[in-house]
Amino acid sequence: MDLRERWMQYADPIERHRKSRIFRGRLSELQCAEWLETQGRIIRGLEALGGGPDIETTSSEGTTTAFEVKFIGSEDDDFEMILGSVAGQPAGGPVSPYAAINYLLFRAYEAAKQLAEVNGERIAIVIVEDLTWWRFESQLKHSWIDWKNPHFVGDDSGWGQFMREQQRRYSELPDGVPLALRQIDAVWIVKQSWGFEFNVEYAIAMRNV
């Protein structure tokens, strides 16, 4: 039911973009499963077919791995700037590098929490679409996340508000981030290019950092 492509029915372009991003997040799980098959993994289970982690695979050596997939699409503000630019209007606005990298870490944390009760190897995959990769590229390149002790960085008012909202769901935030991520085997940060191609830009072995 989640794969019914109804996002284009919304009249407001921002709401249409928001629903499209949600739809693409669902779709990315299946695209990721297909991509993992090309890496020689055998798909043993899909959350889309009922329960369990997003993707469960077995390698040729017999290793079972559970994957949780988080998709990061373009922000509403970025989309609004694109619309303004296409219409010939001034388009621009501030971008917080701290909020961006913190959000990526938060999505990895979410995936780790969902993998907490799963047996076997556990990997969190954060997929970033090509259109919004620029928001994270420099921070990742310069190692803004200390994966030995991952924590949120900077002092950003917008991020503070987001955190207060998320603490209603995850009461251990922000102090619980390092412990949650240490319980899984790895975090993969994957760039999704045009044509729905996947490339692992960063593979962090969490148990060995």
For 9-25, write each residue's pLDDT tens digit: 667 766 675 676 666 76
Rounded mean pLDDT, 149-160: 88
pLDDT value at residue 27: 82
pLDDT cut 90: percent of the chain above it: 56
Instruction: Give me the residue spans of the domains in the chain.
Output: 7-208
pLDDT value at residue 56: 96
Confidence of residue 77 (pLDDT cuts 50, 70, 90): low
CA separation for the pair 172, 14 (Å, rounded): 33
pLDDT at 153 over 80: yes
DSSP secondary structure of 112-163: HHHTTT--SEEEEEEEEEGGGTHHHHHHHHTT-S-TTS----S--HHHHHHH
Rounded mean pLDDT, 180-190: 97
